[in-house]
Structure 1
Amino acid sequence: MNELELKKLWQTTNEKLEESFVINSKNTEDITRITVHNFLGSMKPIKIFTLLVGIIWVGLGAIILSHIYFYAFSEANKFFLFSATIQILLTAIALWIYLYQLITIYQVDITDPILKTQKKLAGLKISTLWVTRILFLQLPVWTTFWWHETMLTDWNLLQWAMTVIATVLFTYVAIWLFFNIKYENRNKKWFKLIFNGKEWTPLMKSIELLEQVEEYKTDKNAST
């Protein structure tokens, strides 16, 4: 075999390798898109259920609170009223985030470029962290909604101490979680305990799959 034939053989082999790489890359991307689409699809039921229950909760709460504010404010238990108002407001904010997430999930198309899908997944990741932070801010009001004015005159020091300690503890936990729930802490035990289920695990698997595809393409390009 002469030099010219060797060059032609090398060129043919190289073209076949490049063609094989393109086919393998396309197959890998297609499979990844399907898998990611299935992962995101598994998140829809829990988000729809949460959204519906949340709308009912906020709707009924808003009706009751509006009635109290307009017609029975002077007779109402102010501790209950203000605690319930904060809880309803925070839940309403969380519902808007859930609605954004559900819309984003439905907007993810199986034919979208990987980069576009990655941006949507990043938005879902950030919003999931934020909605969890916001919901945990409700913790203190669950310890104050049952307070009443007779506490000021009828309670002894021990009752006050237990009540204040509980409220301070819940407030501290809520603030600590608000500032520490972030992606950098995802490998910590307490984080995994909170974020373990249909609203987080499929999202993380989807992100990891797309990252692996990008790494695969990068490595193949570098080797060629």
Structure 2
Amino acid sequence: MEDKSFENMLQSFKEKDNDTWLMNVMQLNMDCIITIQTQKAKSKLTSVAIIKVLGILLGLLWVWLLGSLGFAAYTVGNIFFALSAYAVMFISIIAIIVYIKHLVLIAQIKESDSITYTQRKLAELQTSTLKITRILFLQMPFYSTWFITPTLLANAGTGWLIVQAAATVLLTFLSVWLYMNISFKNVNKRWFRILFGNSEWTGVTQAIAFMKEIDEFKSAK
């Protein structure tokens, strides 16, 4: 009787050990998956950060060029070129500021951060990317007015004026339409995928997908 009781006790200890071992293995697997997925997300964000830095550097050069040309045009009385250049320059400055903000957001994301914190930062980055893209499209109409001069307007025929007005109105309508429709509700639309088929956008969405996989794995557990 005592031997049987001892065997039962021993078997109970073995079952507990097996359960503990299994739990440790599962936890180890989860930790590995979380680490790998987080590293993948961070790698994508590093690529996005490089694009942002290049965008800032090129943007600064573009702003300097527009400012110089706009000032030169204003001094010689070419008001249309000056206004067009300054409008594009103003929007470009906004984009540079937002890109700097994006770099700060990316720098704040660490592999040791919680999944919830990382997801919140990624969502903020994604939303901000949509917003600045909408704003950038507002500069489209000014690319149809920079070459206009008072002399050209005075000597232009009716046909040219109609074509010029139509082009400016069309670009204005298109820029406003894009501003109104670039949103998360249209992410599956074909035109949206074409506009946002670049590494800057896909890098963020892939990073978000990696973090989502972690959530799904934890929920499945």
* Matching residue's letter, 2:106: I
1:58 corresponds to which residue?
A: 63
Aligned counterpart in structure 1 of residue 52 of structure 2, from 47, 54, 57: 47
Give 1:141 deviation, angstroms: 0.5
The one-character-per-residue Cα deviations of 1:73-118 (angstroms, maximum 9, x if unpaired) are: xx41221111111110000001101111122222321222221211
* Matching residue's letter, 2:67: A
Query: Which runs of 5 or more structure 1 residues have no equivalent in the other structure?
Result: none
2:87 corresponds to which residue?
A: 86
**Contact between 2:73 and 2:79, CA under 8 Å: does it hold in 1?**
no
Seen in structure 2, the aligned counterparts of structure 1 residues 68 and 154 have a Cα distance that, compared at 3 Å, is closer
**TM-score (ref. length: structure 2):** 0.88
Measured in 2, the distance between the counterparts of 1:164 and 1:78 equals 17
Please say which structure displays the higher CA radius of gyration: 2
1:153 corresponds to which residue?
A: 154
Shifted more, 145-154 versus 75-84: the winner is 145-154
* Matching residue's letter, 2:176: I
**TM-score (ref. length: structure 1):** 0.87
Measured in 1, the distance between the counterparts of 2:109 and 2:189 equals 30
**Aligned pairs for 1:166-185 within 5 A:** 166-185=167-186
Shifted more, 148-157 versus 172-181: the winner is 148-157
Give 1:35 deviation, angstroms: 0.8
Sequence identity of aligned pairs in percent?
31
**Aligned pairs for 1:113-124 within 5 A:** 113-124=114-125
Matched, 1:17 2:22: yes
* Matching residue's letter, 2:144: T
Matched, 1:32 2:32: no
Give 1:156 deviation, angstroms: 2.0
Measured in 2, the distance between the counterparts of 1:48 and 1:151 equals 40
Measured in 2, the distance between the counterparts of 1:24 and 1:46 equals 34
Matched, 1:187 2:188: yes
1:203 corresponds to which residue?
A: 204
Matched, 1:165 2:166: yes
Seen in structure 2, the aligned counterparts of structure 1 residues 11 and 184 have a Cα distance that, compared at 3 Å, is farther
Measured in 1, the distance between the counterparts of 2:218 and 2:197 equals 30
Matched pairs, number: 216
Residue aligned with 2:56, SS? helix
